[in-house]
Amino acid sequence: MSTSSFSATHSQASTLYLPPGTWATVLDCLCEHFSAIGREQWLDRIARGRVLDAQGQAIALDLAYKEGLRIHYFREVPDEKVIPVLETILYADEHLVVADKPHFLPVTPAGEYVEQTLLRRLIRRLDNPHLVPLHRIDRHTAGLVLFSANPQSRSAYQSLFPTRKIDKYYEAIAQALPQLTFPLVHKSRLVDGEPFFRMQEGPGISNTETAVQVLEKNGDLWRYGLSPVTGKKHQLRVHMTALGASICNDPFYPQVLKDVEDDYANPLKLLAKGLRFSDPLSGVERVFESRITLAW
C-alpha cells in the first residue's frame, strides 16, 4: 500500500493506541477494550482486513500485544438502516467535488451511520478514497457540500473556511415575523446546550452572526434567506428560534421532539442553497447552487 493510499484509508478509520495491560494478543486487547463488540466480530473484521497496523497492513490474528501500539480499525454497524434518499454530484474535477446532499443523510460516519453517509457513498461512486469533506452541514439539512478530492491541493481549499473567503447562502421556511424589520443581522454567543447535541444562546461576547432577509411570503409561512458570517453548530436553527420563528419541522428546536422517526415527507425546511468563492488554485470565481427546492 502506497503512503498516499494509506493516508486516505487511514482518514476513514478510527485509531487506538493500545492501553496498558497484560493481554497476549492485540485481539485479546480489542475484545476487552471494546466489550460491546463480541470476539466473533473482531475475528471477522481481522479476517476481512478491517484492522490495520501503523503501516496500514492488515494485522494477523496472533499479533502480539504491545502497550502503545497504534491500531487502525473501521467502524461497522451491523444491519445498518438504509436511508432511502439519493445524493447528486453537481461538479467534479481532480481537486474538488460538489455534491447536493438530501435531507436525512449524514455527511460523515457517526453514531448508527457508517456506510449510509454522503462521504462513503461518494467514495464508492467516484472510486476515490482520497475524498474528504471541507465542511459539514447537519444530517437534517439538505444542500451543498464541498469535498477535497486531492491531498496535494486540500489545504488550499480548507483555508477558505477559517479565513472566511467563501460565501455561504441558505434558505429556510419558518413562521412569519411581521413584527420585525428585514433585512436584519442577528448576533449572539452560542454555547453547548442540553441535551448534549443542542446549542443555546448564552451571555457574553457574540461568536456567531447571521444576516436574515425575507425572500417570499406565503400566508403564515415565509421563505427566508440566511447568510451566516460564522459557522457554528446549529447556528441558523438557533438564530431563527431566537428571532421567534423556529425552522419548520425542526426536531431539536425550540424543543427536542423525543423518539421522532425520520419523516421523509416532512424534512427540516433548511437548505444550503449557494456557495461562492475564488478558486485558490486558478483564481476563477466559483459559484454553485443547489438543485433542491424547499416546498411549502
Quick one: which H or E segment has residue 229?
A: none
Q: Measure CA 286 to chain center.
A: 22
Query: Rounded to 5 degrees, what are φ and ψ at 154?
Result: -60, -45
d(CA 119, CA 99): 10
- Grid cell, residue 94, equals 481532480
d(CA 36, CA 160): 40
Find, among 18, 21, 19, 1, the residue nearest to 10 by Cα: 1
| 19: confidence class by pLDDT, cuts 50, 70, 90 | very high
pLDDT, mean of residues 87-112: 93
Out of 40-49, 160-169, 222-231, least confident range: 40-49
pLDDT, mean of residues 39-52: 86
d(CA 268, CA 270): 6
Quote the pTM value.
0.78
Residue range 163-187, pLDDT digits in tens: 999 999 999 999 999 999 999 999 9
Q: Which domains does the chain have, with CATH numbers?
A: 3-73 (3.10.290.10), 88-289 (3.30.2350.10)
Residue type, 137: I
Q: What is the pLDDT of residue 55?
A: 86
Q: What is the pLDDT of residue 78?
A: 64
Residue 31 CB contacts under 8 Å (≥ 6 apart), including other chains: 37, 38, 39, 42
Q: What is the pLDDT of residue 36?
A: 75
Q: What is the pLDDT of residue 10?
A: 46
Q: Is the omega angle on the peptide bond into residue 254 within 30 degrees of 0, that is, cis? A: yes
Measured between its terminal Cα atoms, the distance across the chain in Å is 51
Q: How many Cβ atoms are within 10 Å of 112's Cβ, its own excluded?
A: 11
Q: Report yes or no: 72 and 83 within 8 Å, Cβ to Cβ.
A: no
Helices (H), 91-200: 118-126, 154-158
Res 2 pLDDT > 50: no
Q: What is the pLDDT of residue 12?
A: 61
Pick the more confident residue, 74 or 100.
100
Find, among 288, 271, 194, 274, the residue nearest to 237 by Cα: 271
pLDDT, mean of residues 256-282: 92
pLDDT, mean of residues 53-63: 90
Percent of the chain with pLDDT over 70: 94
d(CA 242, CA 254): 9
Find, among 148, 146, 149, 144, the residue nearest to 101 by Cα: 144
